[in-house]
Structure 1
Amino acid sequence: MKRRIIAFAVLFLFSAGIYFLLYHKDKNLNFIPENADAMILIDKKKLTRQYLSAFIAHPSHWFIESSESEKKRSVFNAGLKIPDFLQIFHLKNSKLTEWYAVFDIENPQKLLVFLKEHKFKSLGQNLYIKDMLYIKIADQKCFAGISGHDFENIGRPLNGIFGGKKLNADHFMEEGTGSLSFISGTRTRNFSIELKDREIEIKNASNIENYASFISQLSKEDLFINAELDKENIKVFNKVLPDFFKDLSEVNYLKMNVKIKQVKDTIISYGYDDDFNEIEKISYQEIVQPDYMIQLETQDPAKIWKHFRSENLINDKNEFTGIPFQPNRVYQSDNGIVIKSVTEQSLHSQKKGKNFILIKNDPMLFYFSKGLNDFKYLKDIEYFFYGNNEQNFFLTLKLKDQKLPLILQ
């Protein structure tokens, strides 16, 4: 009888430990400022369960010895208190790429060791940088961000506009490993984030259509960028990428096809022979350049043309200067404006009747822009896809097939 009681007690304590370690969550959100307009939440314990499940399912990973770089102190052992819901936010009127997070500091010495191990450079005044990540230490808090100049602009907690109530993760997410939320006053629009073996999905409806067969169809067209957007989707992207879409308010439909190719470029230089006569020297080099075609449909093409002219987006040679890749040519069609690179060939494709953007990885992209080689993880991406059907939105980042699922890489 005593053995049964002991066994039951051990089982109970073990089960309770597993529950508190992997399932019990503090859902209070303490680090979302009132001047945030977007937020990403990551469920740390669900992510941990996914990791353990993937680890158990791949025995080949059990005995892999860590490299020296992997033996460095991790962020989970850096003297920070990592909340059960990691809170990453974007501030109003800041750049699209600038995101921030705030953590309580439990052990300042551990944090300094972490920064040293990971080769963060001190900029003085408790500000550190590595690559594009800035770390600021102040008032027993650690501020992390893609930009270092907006830390002082992080406002008070968001609770004030919700009647002083503590914010709860349930307000922003349901199922999923995380969520992306857009905040406007007391209103929020929430999107679920799902971490899968080979992809990351973001969507706002569980019954959203399956785009797999459509993406497969698009992939056969061998384009770097393949996109179609109607007027409503152009408005959406005008909020996200205002510099690119600001002149398209009168456009009802946009179609874009881009291909990257390698071509031989002629270089002409001049020198002198032994008698000091000028001679022409011709050499060749391989360069990578885009071929593209952009169709803009509108009810009044002449009005759009006049607007582009007034904004100096079309020069006297009828080149569209709003695109940095030239030469190109721009002309009016029966129902809009067409912009083409001068070498454009065979980029015509049928309208799909959907709102989408597909950007596929292309090895030549890293020759085209050498700076991208600094971001080694970009080479692991297969494609990015955006799809929209009325109020349902779907985004996915697909990674190339590897032996291990994404969470173990």
Structure 2
Amino acid sequence: MNKKKIIVPLVLLLAVAVYFVVFHKNKNLRYIPENADAVVLIDIKKVTGQYLFSLATNPSHWSGSQSKGKNSGSLKDSGIRIPDFLQIFHIKDTKFSEWYSILELKNSQKFIAFLKKQNFVDKGNNRFQKDQLFIMINGDHCVAGTSDLAFESIQKKLLKASSNSVRDADLFIHNTTGSISFISGQKIQNFSIELHDNEIEIKNNLNSEIPTIIASKLQNENHFLEVELDKENIRNFSRFFNKSMADSSQIEYFKATADLEQVSDTIISYEYDDNFNEVEKKTFQKLTQPNYTLDIKSDDPDNTWKYFQSKKWINSENQFTAIPFQPNQVSRNNDDVVIKSTRTPVSFSPPIKENYILIKNNTLLYSSLKMLSNTEKRIISDIDYVLYGNKSKDYWVKIKAKNGELPLILRW
């Protein structure tokens, strides 16, 4: 038999197999509720391809990766049907910290065994919890979330509905590792997520020059926190706390500089001796607190000051009580309201006339993160800085990791 007649169809079959395994994706998104106002999509096949390429080009990690897989259990063999796009959503009018996802199961009993192996606690009624991750199993589906408050409504609207609305992945993601999308009625605003060797970038304009401009201006800054925001950015961020605060206070500009310091805190308690005499007892603990200077500019500083007073944020000693880290002093100067911590003075860095938030890593930060798992602490300790930037309609976030021998996808 002619060898060419055998090789050609084999090559074609291999090409078809590679296409369906690597490139072909089911773009039907069935598990995003109608009342979702934010959606995160992760392209699982793209992430897998990126992981395999990084693994192939870093042979020093091969043995470590294999041993880790044996000890922790393989997600592929957990009973979950791995989707082409992982769908994570936030429901309107719920807490910002509440995010959910629905996965299909191939074998629910196998998945329960996997959860127990991962030290999830069985809460009864097919519900499991580990730290701040909650799982509910419903037939051949599971709902995962950072909370379980919406489990019942998700179960009724998505898992019991006879016909769920199906969305197309192209509405949210365009050939990137992932995406974050904000939904308002029929309007969808998409932000791409790109995973690089030492950083993660999130932006809505792939051609934006914001990263280069802002990063170059801030390259010599060493403070823990640097912030400079205009009125529009203040309004956007205030939505997470108080929707009316930005408009009511008439703030036009905000700048902040902060550093971290470890201080000793004295706790006084009382005990009684054998003769029932009261004895004072002092204990000491180390606390991490910020030293800061905040500058708030307003087109009507008198009204801003009155607004703060109406909220009872300024006491009789001119301390700004809305900031829990005391002591501080608040004062007015022309168009400015300035708030300064008084323990250790912090000087302002020169303004760069850009909208940005820069958070640099600091070892003192770890002591206040006791509620996080060891894995989460390890990831945070590996971050160098987080930088947000905005110019006009372009928004961008960079999570920069410390340089390491391995790319992020193998480290995290």
TM over 0.5: yes
Q: Which residue of 1 aligns with 2:404?
A: 402
Match of 2:246 among 248, 261, 264: 248
Moved more, 127-136 or 257-266: 257-266
Partner AA of 1:230 in structure 2: D
- CA distance in 2 between partners of 1:268 and 1:149 (Å): 39
- CA distance in 2 between partners of 1:12 and 1:103 (Å): 33
- CA distance in 1 between partners of 2:73 and 2:280 (Å): 60
Q: Is the 8 A contact 1:356 1:385 kept in 2?
A: yes
Q: Which residue of 1 aligns with 2:202?
A: 202
Q: Is the 8 A contact 1:263 1:286 kept in 2?
A: yes
Q: Say what the alpha-carbon RMSD is for the aligned residues.
A: 2.8
Alpha-carbon offset, residue 348 of structure 1: 1.4
- CA distance in 2 between partners of 1:246 and 1:366 (Å): 33
Query: Which blocks of at least 5 consecutive residues in structure 2 are unaligned?
Result: none
Instruction: Indicate yes or no: 2:49 matched with 1:57.
Output: no
Aligned pairs, number: 400
Q: Which residue of 1 aligns with 2:126?
A: 126
3-state SS, counterpart of residue 64 of structure 1: helix
Q: Is the 8 A contact 1:300 1:336 kept in 2?
A: no
Q: Is the 8 A contact 2:291 2:346 kept in 1?
A: no
Partner AA of 1:40 in structure 2: V
Alpha-carbon offset, residue 268 of structure 1: 8.3
3-state SS, counterpart of residue 64 of structure 2: coil
Alpha-carbon offset, residue 288 of structure 1: 3.1
Alpha-carbon offset, residue 330 of structure 1: 0.4
Partner AA of 1:86 in structure 2: L
Q: Is the 8 A contact 1:197 1:405 kept in 2?
A: yes
Q: Is the 8 A contact 2:119 2:130 kept in 1?
A: yes
- CA distance in 1 between partners of 2:65 and 2:191 (Å): 38
Trace 1:155-174 onto structure 2 (pairs within 5 A): 156=157, 166-174=166-174
Task: Indicate how the Cα distance of structure 1 residues 143 and 372 shifts in structure 2: closer, same or farther if over 3 A, else same.
Answer: closer
3-state SS, counterpart of residue 337 of structure 2: strand
Q: Which residue of 1 aligns with 2:71?
A: 71
Alpha-carbon offset, residue 235 of structure 1: 1.4
Instruction: Indicate yes or no: 2:388 matched with 1:390.
Output: no
- CA distance in 2 between partners of 1:367 and 1:224 (Å): 15
Q: Which residue of 1 aligns with 2:237?
A: 237
- CA distance in 2 between partners of 1:150 and 1:270 (Å): 45
Instruction: Indicate yes or no: 2:92 matched with 1:92.
Output: yes
Moved more, 366-375 or 50-59: 366-375
Q: Which residue of 1 aligns with 2:107?
A: 107
- CA distance in 2 between partners of 1:64 and 1:367 (Å): 29
Trace 1:128-167 onto structure 2 (pairs within 5 A): 128-154=128-154, 156=157, 166-167=166-167
Task: Indicate how the Cα distance of structure 1 residues 216 and 296 shifts in structure 2: closer, same or farther if over 3 A, else same.
Answer: same
Partner AA of 2:3 in structure 1: R
Partner AA of 1:392 in structure 2: D
Alpha-carbon offset, residue 302 of structure 1: 1.0
Task: Indicate how the Cα distance of structure 1 residues 212 and 363 shifts in structure 2: closer, same or farther if over 3 A, else same.
Answer: farther
- CA distance in 1 between partners of 2:52 and 2:76 (Å): 16
Alpha-carbon offset, residue 202 of structure 1: 0.6
Trace 1:281-296 onto structure 2 (pairs within 5 A): 287-296=287-296
Alpha-carbon offset, residue 371 of structure 1: 3.8
Q: Is the 8 A contact 2:383 2:400 kept in 1?
A: yes
- CA distance in 1 between partners of 2:264 and 2:192 (Å): 46
Instruction: Indicate yes or no: 2:187 matched with 1:175.
Output: no
Alpha-carbon offset, residue 334 of structure 1: 0.8
- CA distance in 2 between partners of 1:103 and 1:281 (Å): 54
Trace 1:267-282 onto structure 2 (pairs within 5 A): none
Q: Is the 8 A contact 2:265 2:286 kept in 1?
A: yes
Partner AA of 2:394 in structure 1: N
Trace 1:370-385 onto structure 2 (pairs within 5 A): 370-371=370-371, 374=374, 375-376=376-377, 377-385=379-387
3-state SS, counterpart of residue 232 of structure 1: helix
